């Protein structure tokens, strides 16, 4: 917990608001709130980055009258005040670091180009701190290479937000994704790997002998780069998806499921393993879960299907797709279309969780590294890309199986071959 963030009561906040001259940021948070937990390290990092700003956190349930006086009904909600008056646009729901940074820079009148960047030199730069990136870091740092892992979020990747992982070797049947990734992080750290998390990447240059990665407050240089940026959920192609993203439309049940405690109905879109497994998980919170799928059968494993069909809190709507999100300030439901009859209907719902496939995170280097027709990085068996000194590992790579176990295998191969590549450079 940062000493720069104050935890105040309503009365203490009112006193600060009346006397503080400058920018003050107030975060109404709740306990057992996944989006609040995700925001917490970002909030603390911003408090360190902007010492001229006063950052305050307030437990919403314990200070309900003040929250209601501001019209705050959900957590997290971030408000900005300047010289005692609310300014700017509020941030609500799942809040990214870039959203918070841009809001603060705008209110403070800071131009991004004017930010001084710390320069780092390494033997190996790893872009991405999921299973592949952390395993590569373990192997590279154990080979006594100066290794820095850069991630735009928190370490762990998709695996850290998975409720449970039941097929990872060496675990007692199932293991929480967060626990497994914490073990990997600690092991990489124990061999000297540096983990630079919550770093917004602005530029990646991979050609030439010296590779370069530019983040918002740092610049990294190394002769070897391992790309392990993974993949992200495909967005729901429905009207008003962006309006409700993070506050009605979600892509991670583990992150946001608790927001729907006792909700009458929550929708899951998709029919693969992730959709079916997370639908079962959501029954821990919602009174009912409706799965909407574009086909008349699931693509999930038999075990996952059996568990869903046996759960009386889950129902299915087949041969249908979501066309629009309904509601004003809060989501009230979705409009769906039956693909066979083309008839449209409304399904009442408090929230939608989307699992319709993944897309690789390659936007910063897609013009340099060779990609396949779906945008995944092409490599050889040794995980070398078309650029000398650049390797790719994990879900961002072109392959047929994407699991934590295969990502770890990729990371090991990339880490070993990074060391071999550096050795070959010294022998020339």
Identified catalytic residue from 27, 33, 36, 255: 255
Distance CA 428, CA 426 (A): 6
Active site residue 33: no
3-state secondary structure the chain: CCCCEEECCHHHHHHHHHHCCCEEEEEEECCCCHHHHHHHHHHHHHHHHCCCCEEEEEECHHHHHHHHHCCCCCCCEEEEEECCEEEEEEEECCCCHHHHHHHHHHHHCCCHHHCCCEEEECCEEEECCCHHHHHHHHHHHHCCCCEEEECCCCCCHHHHCCCCECCCCCCCCCECHHHHHHHHHHHHHHCCCEEECCCCEEEEECCCCCEEEEECCEEEEECEEEECCCEEECCCCCECHHHHECCCEECCHHHHHHHHCCCCCEEEECCCHHHHHHHHHHCCCCCCEEEECCCCCCCCCHHHHHHHHCCCCEEEECCEEEEEEEECCCEEEEEEEECCCCCEEEEECCEEEECCCEEECCCCCCCCCCECCCCCECCCCCCECCCCCEEECHHHECCCCCCHHHHHHHHHHHHHHHHHHHHHHHHC
Active site residue 255: yes
Distance CA 314, CA 302 (A): 16
Contact status, residue 102 vs residue 111, Cβ threshold 8 Å: no
Active site residue 395: no
Identified catalytic residue from 123, 256, 395, 410: 256
Identified catalytic residue from 123, 252, 395, 410: 252
Q: Annotated catalytic sites, by residue?
A: 252, 255-256
């Amino acid at each position: 917990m940062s000493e720069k963030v104050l935890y105040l009561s309503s009365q203490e906040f009112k006193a600060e608001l009346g006397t503080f001259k400058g920018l003050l940021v107030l975060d109404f948070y709740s306990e057992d709130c996944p989006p609040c937990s995700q925001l917490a390290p970002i909030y603390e990092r911003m408090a360190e980055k902007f010492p001229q700003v006063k950052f305050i956190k307030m437990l919403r349930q314990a200070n309900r009258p003040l929250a209601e006086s501001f019209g705050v009904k959900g957590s997290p909600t971030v408000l900005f005040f300047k010289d005692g008056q609310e300014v700017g646009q509020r941030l609500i729901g799942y809040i990214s670091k870039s959203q918070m940074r841009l809001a603060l820079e705008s209110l403070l009148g800071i131009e991004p180009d004017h930010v001084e960047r710390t320069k780092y030199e390494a033997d190996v730069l790893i872009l991405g701190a999921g299973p592949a990136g952390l395993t590569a870091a373990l192997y590279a740092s154990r080979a006594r290479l100066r290794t820095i892992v850069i991630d735009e979020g928190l370490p762990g990747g998709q695996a850290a937000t998975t409720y449970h992982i039941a097929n990872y070797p060496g675990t007692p049947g199932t293991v929480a994704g967060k626990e497994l990734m914490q073990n990997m992080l600690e092991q990489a750290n124990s061999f000297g790997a540096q983990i630079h998390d919550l770093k917004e990447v602005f530029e990646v240059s991979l050609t030439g002998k010296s590779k370069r990665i530019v983040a918002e407050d740092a610049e990294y240089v190394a002769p070897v780069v391992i790309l392990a940026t993974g993949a992200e959920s495909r967005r729901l192609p429905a009207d008003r998806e962006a309006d409700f993203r993070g506050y009605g439309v979600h892509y991670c049940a583990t992150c946001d499921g608790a927001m729907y405690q006792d909700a009458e109905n929550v929708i899951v879109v998709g029919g693969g393993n992730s959709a079916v497994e997370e639908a079962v998980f959501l029954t821990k919170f919602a009174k009912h879960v409706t799965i909407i799928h574009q086909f008349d059968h699931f693509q999930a494993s038999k075990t996952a299907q059996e568990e869903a069909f046996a759960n009386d809190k889950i129902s299915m709507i087949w041969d249908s797709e979501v066309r629009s999100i309904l509601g004003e300030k809060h989501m009230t439901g979705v409009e769906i279309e039956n693909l066979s009859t083309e008839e449209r209907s409304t399904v009442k719902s408090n929230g939608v969780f989307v699992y319709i496939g993944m897309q690789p995170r390659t936007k910063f280097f897609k013009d340099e590294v060779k990609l396949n027709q779906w945008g995944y990085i092409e490599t050889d068996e040794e995980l070398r890309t078309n650029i000398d000194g650049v390797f790719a590992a994990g879900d961002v790579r072109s392959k047929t199986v994407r699991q934590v176990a295969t990502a770890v295998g990729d990371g090991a191969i990339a880490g070993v071959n990074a060391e071999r590549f550096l050795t070959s450079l010294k022998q020339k």
